[in-house]
Structure 1
Amino acid sequence: MGAGDPQDLVVKIRRSVLDGHFAAGQRLVEAELCDLYQVSRSTVRQALRELVADGLVEVQRNKGARVRVISTAEAVEITEVRMVLEGLLAAKAAERVTPEQAGRLLKIKEAMRERVAAHDPLAYSELNAALHGLVQEIAGQVTARTILVRLQGQLVRHQFRLSLQPGRSAVSLGQHERIVDAVVARDPAGAEAAMREHLRDVITQITRISQATTPSVEVAAPAGSGASRRDGLATR
């Protein structure tokens, strides 16, 4: 077993949270992480310290590390920050988009339409993530994109709950179509407004769902369960 690179391990654990392999509230046992990623315990400890600083992991007294459970209030705050950052990135993408990149955006938009028509929310969600990622790539703002990656992992549970709402994919599709159309038209103000409108609606829906269900505690799905894996495929 090699020592391993702590930064590489941070990326891998963060990806496991986004993909739903590690559920909200799940314990992260050092020995198990060493075996899973074939790295030393010191590498695991360094990676967990960084993930704690990012807000993705928390350390509980006498219980060790676990994936942090995000409250509805925190989810709203994080999405408000995303609204500013992703609005900026959408505007920058509209300024910088090339014809080739515009074609890629339009292909994703068309594929999203097809998945909504086929009632396939998981495939739609993957395209959703690809679309946001492409907009960020086109924008070329490394700092904003790095911050967004850190924020995204904290919202997995709330996004999953939102994805289960009847008709959500169709509503989300219309919002994403407006984002794509504005970027392709090289309309920075329109792209930023469309992105902000989309994320403002996400905030509204997260709040509505919370008020309707009023859970006292969010229960994490068991490691490796179907629900856990689907968390990483949330429709925004």
Structure 2
Amino acid sequence: MTETATGAQPELTRRIREAILDGDFAPHQRLIEADISARFDATRAAVRTALMNLAGEGLVERLPNRGARVRAISVEEAIEIVEVRMGLEELCARKAAANLGDEDAAGLAELREQIQAAVAAGDLVGYAALNQEMDRRIRELSGHATAVQLLERLRAQSARHQFRLAYHPGRVAQSAPEHIAIIDAVLARDPDAAAAATRTHLEGIVRVLSELP
């Protein structure tokens, strides 16, 4: 593989990953290398490597003599993923609270206001995007590279169920105060409170997932 091809590989993997998470490819849909190659203007060898990378992330499954397809994540597995995330996200919240500087605090406080505004306006799409941004900032503030890497892989696997949760009746009324509580604990630079608020939020996600059909 050339240096150029090597440098482009993570970008191709990212683009295919995003297409899967955005629902462009449905669960159990076969991923045909020739079609993906044409869609993303990439060589079939590069596509094959990207699919192998995504299989390692749990988003794609390889089929003997049949190529690859999008892996379907059951509700039961999604619950297990959230349970595993609890310890990692508590760790990140705890470290974010301990590491918070004044400039980052100002940005987090502004994000808090944006979340409240989105809820007040009934903007579910905006609210969901702001929640993702909050999660990203806390992971970044934690400075814990290993936890962040593991969390990104776990969150990608359960992304479809996270989307369903966002539109679950009454979910915003429950989750918004939980998110605000996490932000407030980090802003207070209280690691124990940040970890506890994070656990409470994730336990709520497990309860709602358990109720999904």
Q: Same fold (TM over 0.5)?
A: yes
Question: Given the alignment, which residue of 153, 175, 178 partners 1:175?
Answer: 178
Name segments (4+ residues, structure 1) moved above 4 Å: none
The structure 2 residue matched to 1:144, chosen from 144, 147, 158, is 147
Alpha-carbon separation, structure 2, partners of 1:109 and 1:17 = 30
Query: Is residue 126 from structure 1 mapped to residue 133 from structure 2 by the alignment?
Result: no
Q: How far off its partner does 1:155 sit? A: 1.0
Cα pair distance change 1:145/1:204, threshold 3 Å: same
CA contact (8 A) 2:21 2:160 kept: no
Gaps of 5+ in 1: 214-236
1:174-213 equivalence runs, <5 A: 174-209=177-212, 213=213
Deviation for aligned residue 1:135: 0.5
Conservation of the 8 A alpha-carbon contact between 1:105 and 1:180: yes
Aligned residue in 1 for 2:45: 42
> Residue 62 of structure 2 corresponds to which residue in structure 1?
59
CA contact 1:18–1:152 (8 Å) conserved in 2:
no
TM-score of the aligned structures, taking structure 2 as reference length:
0.92
With structure 1 as the length reference, what TM-score do the two structures score? 0.83
Q: Which has the higher contact order (CA 8 A, sep 6+)?
A: 1
Distance in 2 separating the partners of 1:124 and 1:164: 11
Partner of 1:112: 115
For 2:63 and 2:49, locate their aligned partners in 1 and report how far apart those are by CA, in whole Å: 17
> Take 1:208 and 1:144, find their aligned partners in 2: how far apart are those partners?
28
- C-alpha contact (below 8 Å) 2:57/2:153 kept by paired residues: yes
Q: Equivalents in 1 of 2:94, 2:33: separation in Å? A: 42
For the residues of structure 2 that align with 1:114 and 1:23, how far apart are their CA atoms?
33
Deviations 1:169-211 (A, max 9, x none): 12111000110000011001110111111011101110112xx
Q: 1:85 aligns with which of 81, 84, 88?
A: 88
Q: What corresponds to 1:166 in structure 2?
A: 169
How far apart are the structure 1 equivalents of 2:131 and 2:23? 16
The offset of 1:61, in angstroms, is 4.1
Using the TM superposition, give the Cα deviation of residue 165 of structure 1 relative to its aligned residue in structure 2, in angstroms. Answer: 1.6
How many Å apart are 1:111 and its aligned residue?
0.9
The percent of aligned pairs where both chains have the same amino acid is 44
Equivalent residues of 1:24, 1:157 under 8 A apart? no
* Contact kept in structure 2, 1:89 and 1:141, CA below 8 Å: yes
Q: Secondary structure at the match of 2:158?
A: helix
Q: Is the 8 A contact 1:82 1:148 kept in 2?
A: yes
Amino acid at match of 2:146: T
8 Å CA contact retained: 2:57, 2:157: no
**Contact 1:3–1:40 at 8 Å: present in 2 too?**
no
CA RMSD of aligned residues (A): 1.6
Q: Secondary structure at the match of 1:20?
A: coil
Aligned length: 209
